[in-house]
């Protein structure tokens, strides 16, 4: 639990004839993290080279893209049909799905030739229907645009073929603003030109205009029209039909297009219901095969042999040996060994299910190195503890707990892991809520006044932060000292993996931290906050020895391993810097834990203020005693949820920060890669 799973390096040598069956069995078993055989290829360049699967991958990728294209077309049409469904139909379809439709599609190990032929056939048909549908959509868009432009002029019974010049006359249609249209009419009348002009009022801002005049007056009339900003209608086609007739014909064309679109949608939907699961299965199977080909290219090969390198949990070594023997008919050599110090061993965390959610928080920072303590289990205790100190309230903790249970029920993956983390956060918040005597932001007296009874003790079990700020601050700093001490204790375990002498470094740090904290506490109790009255010689006697040991720690840890005085001086320099940095960091890190005190006060203060604001708000709103009570409950509930969401995130991030910066610094470096077994996905 406190260490990553024990790993072994594995190398498998077999004949090339058994390469593909072996890779297939390894994928089914899902036990081995496969690495590139680069070191062996580098050591034996005349004998080994990377396997080449590029041509096979090219063909598989081609069919994988085709299968994706089919599914994309199905999804596109499904989205169109869903948009057109009513809400009731969507609910009905949701609950009427058969078990077969909702059952997960499992891939096979390989695709057959007839399945690839099926993909070729379906993708061509799906693409053809998609192209037809898109062409129809484009036509529909153009027709609607044309209809929109021309239907404004349906109030004029003038065939479009009349527009423009004839032998003797010119006919135009267009738009003009109402003000300028009236001025235009006056001006035309003043010029006493032989012209027919008709302006029909429109509610859309600009009136419609139609005019016919003699060809010999074209320049004068057109100049007048332009002068008054008339927007002339210039259709691309001029059939011998009125705008109303053209609009009716266009609507008929649009209707026919929509009918054809529905037929295409029905055809694709039919293909979807008939072929989706098969297509999806082939797509997933192709992905499985591509994974195998990607793995094949990590293998070292000669003309007759194949070499597979990787890592396996030590507990699974014998199981792997049986798989290899079965897949190769016993014609294989498999060797396993312990990881070397310099090797980049992949890491798989090994924690009980309760801690799985906290593994997400550990890996977000960095996975531990192979021979480094996994902090997940300890973090699973301290993170909720520190969160509870800052968020202590029985009601608020219960809300966090219930929210966590809901997330676990409805979510999956990383979100579900966060739900697991929320459960202990809520429990510890409830525990500290009892200690503080807080329920939903109300003190015991507030609970009695608002609810008629109390859910927490009338007096805080141990302390109420606002009434005892100094005591609470001391407790917060004490939590910090304990937290850091546990971190340095874990560093002792890390150092023992390498050298017992190296433990002098974390032991010296623990001595300094606890010694200084204890002496400061005793001095404050005996002499108060006057440092001049403290026993300085005692401080020096207790703290100077561990500081000296810390400065010599690097040199002591490397005794017998460094070469010459120059390296010894370098180690002394590193140790001196470590001592200087360690002492300063203890001061800054300890002060940083005062945020437990500050954020606890903020959390309590926010809800004390909310109670007062809620009372003022409900009194101002009026409505009698019942109205005031309902208003108070509604306002207080909504405001509580908003504040809880914001304050909960802030408190959680601060809890996380105390681990990532103050705690991990004491023992944790991380940086390993994750153990990713080669398996069916």
- For the chain, residues classed under CATH 3.30.70.2750 are 155-241
Long-range contacts of the stretch 116-122 (C-beta < 8 A, 24+):
116/63, 116/282, 118/278, 118/282, 119/63, 119/66, 119/67, 119/70, 119/279, 119/282, 120/66, 122/70, 122/271, 122/275, 122/279
Q: Does domain 7-51+298-337 have CATH number 2.40.70.10?
A: no
Helix (H, G, I), strand (E, B) or coil at 308: strand
pLDDT for position 674: 94
Q: Point out the least confidently predicted range of 247-261, 307-321, 438-452.
A: 438-452
**Residue that has been written with the tokens 């192979």 in this structure:** 370
pTM for this prediction: 0.75
pLDDT for position 2: 85
pLDDT digits (tens, 9 = 90+) for 592-619: 999 999 999 998 888 888 877 766 766 6
Distance of CA 158 to the CA centre of its chain: 62
Helices (H), 85-112: 87-96, 99-102
Helix 356-365 × helix 376-391 angle, to 10°:
90
pLDDT for position 484: 94
* Architecture label for domain 155-241: 2-Layer Sandwich (3.30)
Region label for 192, one of left (φ > 0), alpha (ψ between -120 and 50) or beta (otherwise): left
By DSSP bridging, strand 169-177 and strand 33-35 are: unpaired
Where does the pLDDT of residue 523 fall: very low under 50, low under 70, confident under 90, or very high at 90 and above?
confident
Q: Are 549 and 515 in contact (CB under 8 A)?
A: no
Kindly tell me the burial class for residue 136, based on how many C-beta atoms sit within 10 Å of its own C-beta (0-12, 13-18, 19 or more): middle
Task: Give the integer Cα–Cα distance in Å for 408 and 246.
Answer: 61
Mean pLDDT across 417-444: 88
Q: Are 300 and 50 in contact (CB under 8 A)?
A: yes
pLDDT for position 90: 45
pLDDT for position 97: 47
pLDDT for position 424: 95
Residue 94 has pLDDT above 50, yes or no: no
pLDDT for position 95: 44
pLDDT for position 91: 46
Task: Give the integer Cα–Cα distance in Å for 26 and 34.
Answer: 10
Distance of CA 414 to the CA centre of its chain: 8
Mean pLDDT across 551-559: 77
Mean pLDDT across 526-546: 85
Task: Give the integer Cα–Cα distance in Å for 60 and 297.
Answer: 15
Residue 630 has pLDDT above 80, yes or no: no
- For the chain, residues classed under CATH 3.30.70.2170 are 7-51+298-337
Strand (E) or helix (H) holding 174: strand 169-177
* 150 contact partners, CB below 8 Å, separation of at least 6: 235, 243, 246, 247, 250
Q: Point out the least confidently predicted range of 11-15, 241-245, 637-641, 657-661.
A: 637-641
pLDDT for position 617: 65
The 8-class DSSP code of residue 191 comes to: H
What would the two tokens of residue 167 be?
């032998």
Task: Give the integer Cα–Cα distance in Å for 239 and 234.
Answer: 13
Residue 215 has pLDDT above 60, yes or no: yes
pLDDT for position 623: 55
pLDDT for position 628: 59
* 44 contact partners, CB below 8 Å, separation of at least 6: none
Beta bridge partners of 310: 10, 34
Q: Are 301 and 50 in contact (CB under 8 A)?
A: yes
Q: Are 613 and 636 in contact (CB under 8 A)?
A: no
pLDDT for position 445: 63
Q: Which of 35, 8, 4 is nearest to 320 (CA)?
A: 8
Helix (H, G, I), strand (E, B) or coil at 660: helix
By DSSP bridging, strand 195-200 and strand 231-232 are: unpaired
Mean pLDDT across 221-233: 91
What would the two tokens of residue 252 be?
């008929």
Mean pLDDT across 402-431: 92
Task: Give the integer Cα–Cα distance in Å for 501 and 490.
Answer: 15
pLDDT for position 205: 72
Task: Give the integer Cα–Cα distance in Å for 356 and 208.
Answer: 73
- Indicate the average pLDDT of the chain: 87
pLDDT above 70 covers a percentage of the chain that reads 91
Q: Point out the least confidently predicted range of 136-140, 467-471, 562-566, 663-667.
A: 562-566
Where does the pLDDT of residue 349 fall: very low under 50, low under 70, confident under 90, or very high at 90 and above?
very high
Q: What is the largest CA-CA distance in the chain?
A: 121
Where does the pLDDT of residue 452 fall: very low under 50, low under 70, confident under 90, or very high at 90 and above?
low
* Total length of the chain: 681
Mean pLDDT across 336-365: 90
By DSSP bridging, strand 206-214 and strand 49-50 are: unpaired
pLDDT for position 206: 86
Q: Point out the least confidently predicted range of 149-153, 242-246, 294-298, 361-365.
A: 149-153
Mean pLDDT across 61-88: 84
Q: Are 397 and 388 in contact (CB under 8 A)?
A: yes
Task: Give the integer Cα–Cα distance in Å for 420 and 257.
Answer: 54
């Amino acid at each position: 639990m406190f260490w990553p799973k024990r790993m072994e390096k594995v190398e498998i040598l077999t004949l090339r004839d058994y390469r593909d069956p072996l890779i297939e069995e390894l994928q089914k078993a899902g036990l081995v993290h496969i690495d590139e055989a680069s070191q062996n290829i580098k050591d034996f360049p005349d004998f080994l080279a990377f396997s080449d699967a590029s041509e096979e991958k090219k063909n598989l990728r081609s069919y994988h893209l085709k299968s994706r294209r089919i599914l994309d077309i199905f999804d596109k049409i499904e989205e169109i049909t869903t948009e057109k469904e009513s809400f009731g139909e969507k609910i009905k379809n949701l609950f009427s799905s058969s078990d077969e439709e909702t059952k997960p599609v499992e891939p096979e190990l390989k695709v057959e030739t007839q399945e690839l032929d099926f993909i070729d056939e379906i993708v061509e048909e799906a693409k053809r229907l998609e192209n037809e549908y898109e062409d129809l959509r484009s036509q529909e868009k153009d027709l609607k645009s044309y209809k929109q432009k021309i239907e404004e002029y349906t109030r004029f019974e003038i065939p479009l073929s009349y527009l423009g010049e004839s032998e003797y006359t010119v006919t135009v249609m267009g738009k003009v603003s109402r003000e300028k249209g009236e001025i235009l009419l006056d001006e035309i009348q003043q010029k006493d030109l032989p012209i027919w002009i008709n302006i029909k009022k429109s509610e859309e801002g600009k009136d419609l205009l139609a005019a016919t005049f003699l060809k010999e007056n074209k320049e004068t009339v057109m100049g007048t029209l332009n002068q008054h900003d008339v927007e002339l209608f210039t259709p691309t086609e001029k059939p011998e039909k009125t705008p109303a007739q053209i609009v009716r014909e266009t609507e008929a064309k649009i209707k026919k297009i929509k009918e054809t679109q529905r037929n295409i949608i029905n055809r694709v939907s039919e293909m979807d219901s008939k072929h989706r699961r098969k297509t999806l299965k082939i797509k997933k199977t192709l992905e499985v095969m591509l994974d195998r080909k990607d793995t094949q290219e990590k293998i070292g090969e000669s003309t007759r042999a194949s070499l597979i390198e990787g890592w396996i949990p030590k507990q699974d070594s014998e199981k792997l040996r049986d798989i290899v023997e079965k897949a190769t008919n016993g014609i294989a050599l498999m060797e396993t060994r312990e990881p070397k110090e310099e090797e980049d061993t992949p890491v798989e965390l090994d924690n009980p299910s309760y801690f799985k959610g906290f593994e997400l928080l550990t890996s977000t920072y960095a996975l531990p190195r192979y021979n480094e303590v996994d902090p997940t289990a300890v973090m699973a205790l301290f993170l909720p503890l520190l969160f509870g100190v800052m968020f202590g309230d029985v009601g608020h903790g219960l809300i966090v707990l219930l929210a966590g249970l809901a997330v676990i029920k409805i979510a999956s993956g990383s979100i579900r892991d966060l739900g697991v983390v929320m459960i202990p956060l809520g429990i510890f918040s409830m525990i500290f809520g009892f200690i503080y005597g807080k329920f939903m932001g109300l003190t015991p007296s507030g609970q009695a006044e608002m609810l008629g009874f109390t859910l927490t003790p009338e007096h805080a079990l141990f302390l109420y932060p606002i009434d005892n700020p100094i005591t609470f601050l001391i407790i917060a700093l004490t939590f910090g000292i304990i937290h850091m001490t546990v971190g340095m204790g874990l560093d002792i375990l890390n150092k023992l993996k390498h050298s017992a002498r190296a433990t002098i470094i974390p032991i010296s740090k623990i001595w300094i931290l606890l010694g200084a904290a204890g002496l400061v506490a005793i001095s404050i109790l005996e002499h108060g906050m006057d440092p001049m009255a403290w026993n300085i010689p005692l401080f020096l006697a207790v703290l100077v020895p561990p500081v000296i040991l810390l400065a010599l720690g690097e040199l002591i840890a490397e005794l017998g391993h460094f070469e010459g005085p120059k390296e010894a001086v370098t180690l002394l320099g590193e140790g001196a810097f470590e001592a200087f940095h360690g002492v300063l960091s203890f001061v800054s890190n300890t002060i940083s834990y005062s945020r437990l005190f500050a954020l606890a006060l903020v959390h309590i203060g926010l809800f004390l203020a909310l109670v007062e604001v809620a009372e003022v708000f409900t009194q101002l709103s009026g409505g009698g005693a019942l109205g005031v009570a309902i208003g108070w409950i509604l306002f207080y509930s909504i405001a509580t949820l908003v504040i809880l969401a914001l304050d909960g995130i802030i408190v959680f991030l601060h809890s996380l920060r105390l681990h990532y910066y103050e705690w991990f610094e004491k023992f944790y470096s991380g940086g390993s890669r994750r153990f990713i077994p080669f398996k069916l996905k």
